[in-house]
Structure 1
Amino acid sequence: MKVEIWSDLVCPFCYIGKRRFEAGLQAFAHADTVEVVWRSFELDPNARPEPGRSVHESLAEKKGISVAQAKQMGAHVTQMAAELGLRYDFDRAIPTNTFLGHQLVHFAAHHGRQDAMKERLMAAYYTEGQNLNDLATLTSLAAEIGLDAEAARQALEAGTYANEVRLDEYQAQQINVRGVPYFVFEDKYAVSGAQPIELFTEVLQTVWNEAHPAPTVLATGEACDVDGQNC
């Protein structure tokens, strides 16, 4: 079973959604048959790095609210994340463009480390205040999960995986993805948002049942049963 997940590296609900999906997957009896593919999505492709500016200030400007209100929103999301063991630190987070980061995730995918790279980048942004638009930072994070830092640097400088990021985004447009995280199961079922853990398990089970239907019983007769009452 293939599950494709569109998300952005600086979307707080995407990291929460990742954790909830992982918990739902863990509760699924056939988890070892599931292939997870991370797809790129930029909430703001025109975003520019803003050194010295806080996430709170950027959010306040975008939504037309006060910085105090933006901080309250951040506190609410931080609490949601904490319930899943994630320690968000929006005071340290650096507003930035995620195009390079998405390219690095694709680079990692070509080396069998896509999920690990996605996880490391999200942790770096949300909990460590690292700049995901900085080449040295990105290559260092790649090295931390066992990838070749020099190969990663060359790929990012050359834009080797830029077209793969754009293809993901084009596919998102084709299926009308308007917000992330966005989960697609076997090209048939979609789940939008950081849904409850139980819902992810239910969807996984539904897709599995459709692909592995139980036989239809056409007739029953005398037989030994598991209760031992007939034999």
Structure 2
Amino acid sequence: MKVEIWSDVICPFCYIGKRNFETALEQFAERKNIEVIWKSFQLDASIPEVATESYAEYLVKRKGMAAEQVQGMLTNVTEMASQVGLDYHLDQSVIVNSQKAHQLIQFAKSKELGNEAEERLFSAFFTESKNIADTETLVRLGKDFGLEESELKASLEDEKYKYEITQDIQEAQNIGVTGVPFFVFDRKYAVSGAQPAEVFLQSLNKSFSEWRTSNPGATLAVTQANSCNIDGSCG
């Protein structure tokens, strides 16, 4: 069964949501039958590739909030992250456009490394204060989880992966996604936001139960005769 997750790697709640979903998945007995598909979503495509302001300054301007309110909000989300084992340093985060980071994710997905890409980029942005719009930085991050350098560099210039980002965003708009993280279970149920692990587990149980009813697996009526089996015995 497919679980699709729309996220942006500069969204603090997306990393927290990822952790809570993973906690639920660890508790889910049928996790081997779950296929997780990461989808791109850009919260603000107008952010420049070169950092011009801090995360707090960006939010003050974007949300029109007082600096004290923004600082309180960042303190709260840092505490939320800590509760799920994440170490945020939002005061040091390099606020840049996430387009190239999403290109890396799309390329990684083609190598079945989408989850590894998401994890590495989240950690780079929120914990290590890396510039995720810098090509050389992205190449190093991609190499960290097994991607090849020349292919990485090519992927960051490839229009194919830019197009796939656009497709993901358009698909999100078509199904009514207005914010991330956004989790879709078997295209029947959705969970919006960094919900507790129990909420994700409930959604997994409900959606998978229905999916299993429609996909019972192969059941064959077998007529037996003499044969050899995999341990080498015949009879």
Q: Where in structure 2 are the equivalents of 1:161-200 lying within 5 Å?
A: 161-200=161-200
The 3-state SS of whatever aligns with 1:157 is coil
2:186–2:211 Cα contact (<8 Å) kept: no
Give 1:17's aligned amino acid: G
Deviation of the 1:52 alpha carbon: 5.1
Equivalent-residue separation in structure 2 for 1:182 and 1:54 (angstroms): 26
The 3-state SS of whatever aligns with 2:157 is helix
Percent same amino acid among aligned pairs? 43
Gaps of 5+ in 1: 214-231
Equivalent-residue separation in structure 1 for 2:117 and 2:105 (angstroms): 6
Give 1:173's aligned amino acid: Q
The equivalent of 1:226 in structure 2 is none
2:121–2:141 Cα contact (<8 Å) kept: yes
The equivalent of 2:55 in structure 1 is 55
Q: Where in structure 2 are the equivalents of 1:90-129 lying within 5 Å?
A: 90-129=90-129
The 3-state SS of whatever aligns with 2:177 is coil
Equivalent-residue separation in structure 1 for 2:77 and 2:164 (angstroms): 30
The equivalent of 1:212 in structure 2 is 212
Give 1:88's aligned amino acid: Y
RMSD: 1.1
**TM-score, length-scaled by structure 1:** 0.89
Moved over 6 A (4+): none
Deviation of the 1:50 alpha carbon: 4.8
The 3-state SS of whatever aligns with 1:26 is helix
Equivalent-residue separation in structure 1 for 2:50 and 2:99 (angstroms): 15
The equivalent of 2:150 in structure 1 is 150
Deviations 1:1-36 (A, max 9, x none): 100000111000000000000001111110111000
Gaps of 5+ in 2: 214-235
For the pair 1:67 / 2:67, whether they are aligned, the reply is yes
The 3-state SS of whatever aligns with 1:183 is strand
The equivalent of 2:218 in structure 1 is none
Equivalent-residue separation in structure 2 for 1:133 and 1:93 (angstroms): 12
Deviations 1:152-202 (A, max 9, x none): 111112333111111000100100101100011111111111111001111
2:10–2:98 Cα contact (<8 Å) kept: yes
Equivalent-residue separation in structure 1 for 2:51 and 2:115 (angstroms): 28
Equivalent-residue separation in structure 1 for 2:35 and 2:155 (angstroms): 25
2:125–2:131 Cα contact (<8 Å) kept: yes
Deviation of the 1:65 alpha carbon: 1.8
Equivalent-residue separation in structure 2 for 1:186 and 1:211 (angstroms): 7
Equivalent-residue separation in structure 2 for 1:51 and 1:212 (angstroms): 48
- Equivalences, count: 213
Deviation of the 1:207 alpha carbon: 1.2
Q: Where in structure 2 are the equivalents of 1:37-56 lying within 5 Å?
A: 37-51=37-51, 53-56=53-56
Equivalent-residue separation in structure 1 for 2:189 and 2:91 (angstroms): 37
Give 1:47's aligned amino acid: I
Equivalent-residue separation in structure 1 for 2:50 and 2:91 (angstroms): 14
